[in-house]
Amino acid sequence: MSKLFEATTFGPYQLQNRIVMAPLTRSRALDGDIPSPLAIEYYEQRASAGLIIAEATQISPQGKGYISTPGIYNAAQVQAWRPITSAVHARGGRIFLQLWHVGRISHSSLQPDGALPVAPSAIAAQGQSYTPEGFKPLETPRALELAELPGIVAQYKHAAELAKEAGFDGVEVHGANGYLLDQFLRDGSNHRTDAYGGSIENRARLMLEVVEAVVSVWGGDKVGIRLSPLSPFNDIKDSTPQATFSYVVEQLNRFNLLYLHLVEGATGGPRDVDGGFDLSELRRIFKGLYIANNGYDKAMAETAVNEGKADLVAFGRPFISNPDLVHRLATGAELAALDPATLYGGGAKGYTDYPALSA
């Protein structure tokens, strides 16, 4: 049996295997950013994963960037998440919550009082936002004032506290894919001239302050972070990614984080991206566990774990159409195909109705 399917220690927890269900936006939350009751069955069906990282979840109304995504900033949301975490635990699984602020990847129609989305600088990203009226071009955001940044950190801390109340086993800080923390980190989107812009140290400041605040709630052994150093997703870019991310990962070691979850290559795209450095350097620098992500199949995942190139491997879309993905990978069974038309929005179809092999 491959190490991929063996139980493993994960901070204070024991996982059933080294297979992680990656966070997957499905856009099925109810009004008020409340997780749908359907999500109870959805996550329960997939609880044979060693770890589930629940879908990206906004830390505040301002952090929202897509219709029908869930939040973790009020009591009603906590109440809706509790039966989800309980269902996963009843099946012997573990579940973390990914904390999310999209920054400029939003639209005024999704923001409180129709305000502009916020960002480190007033620089629009190329792309579209999925709004209640359909797709609309991303707008030029409003640059956050220096005095507002402690409030952003406080939003992450509050969300971390509510995630604990909701019964999650830990949290993942979303620092990837061109969202707010990634926008501050990259010099393509951060043109600030204050203490949060200019040098790599300044651009990394907000991310590190957020991690420190979240760790103050959970402890480092129950916190992970997701980064995507080479991904151009959401029109994000940096002139010196090697120096930028080597610095960030080195600084993250101060917090004794449980894991680094790395998107290897372009998010949802090719693994081979010309970025000028080898991502294995970040694996070498980081002192915690390493979760590899992006386009892995069974053979790639087994090789990565058996050769010590990854401690765990995250699978995304295969978990959508294969609720029993762990069993299928372990037995070599054929994987069910995904229906792209039901990825985002809707109800049970394409969400909870994919059958397990035993069915």
Active-site residue list: 179
- What single string gives the DSSP state of each residue in 177-238? TTSHHHHHH-TTT----STTSSSHHHHTHHHHHHHHHHHHHH-GGGEEEEE-TT--GGG---
Token pair in block for residue 260:
């680094």
- Give 211's strand partners: none
Give the number of other Cβ atoms within 10 Å of residue 274's Cβ: 5
Strands in the chain per DSSP E: 8-10, 13-15, 19-21, 51-58, 95-100, 118-119, 128-131, 134-137, 142-143, 170-174, 223-227, 259-263, 289-293, 312-315
Distance CA 140, CA 157 (A): 27
Distance CA 279, CA 286 (A): 11
The answer to whether 157 touches 215, Cβ cutoff 8 Å, is no
- Give 94's strand partners: none
Quick one: DSSP state of residue 25? -
Residues 6+ apart with CB under 8 A from 126: 138, 235
